[in-house]
Structure 1
Amino acid sequence: MCGVTERSRGSRTTPRPQWAGLYVLVMLMLAALAVVEALVSPGAKLTMLRCGLVLGGFGTMARWTRRNRAALDHLDWCDCASARVTMRLIPSRRGEPVRAADAPTPVEATLEEVAR
């Protein structure tokens, strides 16, 4: 961004990824797989448990990545990036719904009060 090849030196304004959480998730997945391998006899149950643990582990890692996406994005930024990057916020206004060409248009009627 600024022509600097050095990595950011840890600005206090940028979030940092929670690497310890990812390591804990991976270790739990591997430990669960080891327990399943040791305790469950070979067969359909073992295959189902393996598949479930691996899919659950990868799903949890994907969730970790989503929760830390801003911090992961900031890893490649240099120190002066926050001064050079501008963000435009464009408010969204809700417009009138578009009517179909063949839709009837409402007729404004003046109602009179009827005396009893």
Structure 2
Amino acid sequence: MKELYLLESSTGNPHGEDWQEEVYQKIKAMKDLYLLDLNAVHQKVISKLQQHVSLQLPENERVEKLKALKYMLERYMQFVQISKRGIRANHKDKLGTYESQIIIILSADRRLRATH
């Protein structure tokens, strides 16, 4: 899997004019690498939640975990689709953490697909 290793690159002066463009370019690269896969996992989670509701099963720990994963995936998909004008200084701080978490989720999904 391709990884950006965003933490290794320099982002220059955080108070300078170019930090926003650099952060935007990194987020855009994350979008290109991960958005389709994030969306696919998100659709699977939604499908599982809908199955649970249609079968009228009682809520359990698994459903709660699926709901939490759905929320997390939505947050990451929003993050990688942010507009350049929407970028704030705290986005720069989230780059490495978000990418690491995205990689963990997508890797887990690939392992699950390999076993089924």
**TM-score by structure 1 length?**
0.31
Over alpha carbons, which structure has the higher Rg? 1
Would you tell me which structure has more helix in proportion to its own residues? 2
**TM-score by structure 2 length?**
0.31
